[in-house]
Structure 1
Amino acid sequence: MRSLERHRDVAAYALGVLDEAEAFRFEDHLMECPSCAAQVTEFGPTARQMMLYRRATPRTVHPFAGPGPQLLDKLLGEVAVRHRASRRKLLFALAASVVIALAGPAVAMMATGGDDDAVQVTATDEKSGVWAQVKIENEVWGSDIELTVKDGAGPRDCRLVAVGHDGSEQTVTSWNVPTHDARPNTMHGGAAMHPDEIIRYELRTADGEHLVTLPTD
């Protein structure tokens, strides 16, 4: 695939319509292209709303049926709500990381909390030294996932993978670890699988090296 064609695959990747091989090649390109990485992030709210629309639309409705006059206003409202919620989540994650740092090295654990029944999983890998925490919220379209990572062994490109009970895998998000920077790094992603369909989360390098596992059971 030529470089220009990779740039054009941003929307297809964000919407999850690329096949496994094409998605893997695009992720390699994503590690070296800040412009595409930024565009994938910008497509996030749109992709989630389209998945929500797909799940909520009856099979009897034609896929090319014209939208009602209130659809745009509803979508814009949903995006605004999610942006406000993302800012609140970032503040909570930073506060939690400070408390955990003061309390000492973390061990693998899982807890549920909050009025939204979100699930939070935290783990540290003794071999790699990587600490990670995921907060998962069940959505109509799948799982809304917030990831916080402490990894001082950069520079390296990494990704978070959700592994289903059936062995299937979905890439939740990807990022670059700066050189020797162990400060918390928080990002958001999503998976089409629902929380009860995911058995664990794995942090891996772009080369497939295992960094830490976060079991959900």
Structure 2
Amino acid sequence: MRSLERHRDVGAYALGVLDEAEAFRFEDHLMECPRCTTEVTAFGATTRQLMLYRRATPRAVHPFAGPGPRLLDRLLGEVAARHRTARRRLLYAVAASVVVALAAPATALVAAGGEKAVRVTATDEKSGVWAQVTTENEVYGSQVELKVKDAAGPRVCRLVVVGRDGSEQTVTSWNAPHHDARPSTMRGGAALHPEEIARYEVRTELGELLVRLDAR
């Protein structure tokens, strides 16, 4: 082989991909070529990194290889266990809600995710409006659910959260139907966390207070 082609074998030799005969001939060439000797030395760091990578990388798995029966049994067992845990949590949450619903107007509920939800209920004797607010703590603040009975519609109403610092935030607004006393449900969010809320107020669009619900 010509000398120019031998020069091109530097990388292949350093990475160990030449067959035995080619490697033997290239080593004879190295004894007479300072340039190739220098380049082989320069490849040393790359060669070591590739060797470490090969040792740390598991053998490739055939793309059509299927899991063995033990792996399938273990995966099915883990899925079943997770489902049982989720069902137990849901049952606990439902049981807690039922028990607390029979207690005082302001109660603490256990949500499915383990967070506590605060529920307050009130009826205004003057306006006749009944409201129930359920608040859950979230990263951003509070998630608020409002149930309200207002038979004096039609009118535009809104739920306002009043903070302990005196700040106010509108959570949601709605149109009360015409003389309909059935409960309506609305949901919204507030930047205040439950412990930062002093009270909830249902107001008309003009600011008239319909019912006030004090937070605990």
TM-score (norm 1): 0.50
Q: Secondary structure at the match of 1:199?
A: strand
The one of 110, 116, 132 equivalent to 1:114 is: 110
Is 1:197 equivalent to 2:196 in the alignment?
yes
Instruction: Report the Cα distance in structure 2 between the residues aligned to 1:114 and 1:138, rounded to whole angstroms.
Output: 11
Higher gyration radius (CA): 2
Structure 1 segments of 4 or more deviating over 3 A? none
- Residue 149 of structure 2: aligned partner: 150
Question: How big is the shift at 1:113?
Answer: 1.6
RMSD in angstroms over aligned alpha carbons?
2.3
Aligned to 2:56: none
Q: CA deviation at 1:142?
A: 0.3
Q: How does 1:103-142 map to 2 (within 5 A)?
A: 109-115=105-111, 116-142=115-141
Query: Which amino acid in the other structure matches residue 118 of structure 1?
Result: A
After superposition, the C-alpha distances for 1:102-143 in whole angstroms (9 at most, x for unaligned) are: x9xxxx820012243100000000000000000000000000
Number of residue pairs aligned between Structure 1 and Structure 2: 116
Alignment of 1:44-63 (within 5 A): none
CA distance in 2, matches of 1:167, 1:143: 17
Once residues 193 and 212 of structure 2 are traced to their aligned partners in structure 1, the CA distance between those partners, rounded to angstroms, is 18
User: What's the CA shift string for 1:68-107, capped at 9, x where partnerless?
Assistant: xxxxxxxxxxxxxxxxxxxx9xxx9xxx9xxx9xx9xxxx
Aligned to 1:213: 212
Distance across 2 between alignment mates of 1:153 and 1:171: 21
> 2:195 aligns to what SS in structure 1?
helix
Higher relative contact order (CA 8 A, sep 6+): 1
State the partner residue of 1:47: none
Equivalents in 1 of 2:151, 2:117: separation in Å? 28
Counterpart amino acid of residue 154 in structure 1: G
What is the CA–CA distance in structure 1 between the aligned matches of 2:185 and 2:105, rounded to whole Å? 19
Higher mean alpha-carbon deviation, 112-121 vs 150-159, is at: 112-121
Secondary structure at the counterpart of residue 196 of structure 1: helix
* 1:9-24 matches, cutoff 5 A: none
Unaligned runs of 5+ in 2: 1-89
CA offsets, 1:39-95, max 9 Å, x none? xxxxxxxxxxxxxxxxxxxxxxxxxxxxxxxxxxxxxxxxxxxxxxxxx9xxx9xxx
Which residue type is aligned with residue 112 of structure 1?
A: A
2:210, 2:120 → 1: CA distance?
A: 15
Sequence identity (%): 65
Partner of 1:181: 180
What's the TM-score, normalizing by structure 2?
Answer: 0.51
Letter in 2 for 1:202: E
Partner of 1:62: none
